[in-house]
Amino acid sequence: MRAHSTLLPFLASSVLASLALARVPTDPWLSEFGGTPDLSFSGITTFAHLPHSRCLDRPDTPFDVAILGVPFDTAVSYRPGARFGPNGLRSGSRRQRPERGYSSVLGINPYMTGLNILDCGDVPVNPFDTPTAIKQINAAYRSMLNHPVASEEKMKELNMQKGLDGEYHPRIISLGGDHTIVLPILDAVHDTYGPVSVIHFDAHIDTWNPNRYYGSVSVQAGVNHGTFFWHAYEQGFIKHNASIHAGIRTKFSGPVDLTDDVTAGFDLVHTMDIDEHGVEWIAEKIKARVGDGPVVISLDVDVMDPAYVPATGTPESGGWTTRELRWILYNLMGLNIVACDVVELSPAYDTNAEISAIAAADIVYDFLAMLAIGVKGQDPASASASASGGHTADEL
């Protein structure tokens, strides 16, 4: 009887504990709404709601394609503010998302093709010291190129170009920043692939010789967003006579500027050529110029008319519409692309409707689609073997 009485408190406490557990409510959010994805206007703002990693601090992080912000604008000649471009581009991409990224025009969802795409954040660029900032951008890009790819099989399936070391390297889409960022980027890309062709979408040629460029009062000042392609030519980063500008409509100091442009290895398509010849003619001219070798696409948002993209540092009237530009890009699918960038977005000059940021973010989507479609009708291995040729010169 005594043993039975000692069990009663234990049994009573067990029953009470069970009743208490039964009364504990399930989590209010998880029970009804758990797993609800962020909407276009909610969540942390990464590009297109992609997963984010601070890749520069995690050199072992694998990815196939990285979105990398480069918030630098201390080498502009007119309006500042492109340091906020990466943030503006990400904001403009909020209505994009991987699970709703299918293009009925291209027949592809670039986010869902097996390529591992990651938003790697920004390069923390020094805003007080331009030479140091350029070194930081170069170091960051080299680091990113040395990250392991997530899927070598996918890169092989897409016929992606290997580096001079015989290995696959990730593709990086840079969000500028002013256009000067392309100089340290080309430096890093050159080390990986050798001299590259450049498709340069812009209202301005950006091959101005610093010896004649207004404001180049020092060696330091001579490296800016209007001269960087000249320096890239002098340092041998660009494959000679295999690069092209598209959308040019700026005013020049005289024929000497165009002579320097030819010296730097560029041909050009004027913005007015679209009316005389059409989109397909422009695309064919670009493809014939760059050939099968490794290609860098550098796109200044001022290639589009300021009626469509007002948020840029050096606006020029008479540019292409967003639709015309994107149709040209669609006609360039299949090129041997090793790097892309969208630069010179200066959100302070945008409208409240963010029309510039949305247009620029859609260009990034198009770049992702170009990479996801892959290289068509070319042999990147042979292109790599021929990439070691080109003009070389001493460093600045």
Binding residues for Mn(2+): 179, 202, 204, 206, 300, 302
What 3-state DSSP class applies to 334?
coil
Torsion region of 368: left, alpha or beta (phi above 0 gives left; psi -120 to 50 gives alpha): alpha
* Cα four-point dihedral sign 75, 78, 82, 83: positive
190 residue type, one letter: H
Q: How far is CA 154 from the centre of its chain?
A: 20
Alpha helices in 74-193 (DSSP H): 85-92, 130-145, 152-157, 182-193
Rounded Cα–Cα distance for residues 206 and 250 (Å): 10
305 residue type, one letter: D
Q: Going by C-beta distance under 8 Å and a sequence separation of 6 or more, which residues neighbour residue 33?
A: none
Q: Going by C-beta distance under 8 Å and a sequence separation of 6 or more, which residues neighbour residue 375?
A: 158, 159, 160, 161, 334, 335, 336, 337
Which candidate, 187, 176, 231, places its Cα nearest to that of 207?
231
Q: Residues at the annotated binding site?
A: 179, 202, 204, 206, 300, 302
Q: What is the 3-state secondary structure (H, E, C) of 293-314?
A: CCEEEEEEHHHECCCCCCCECC
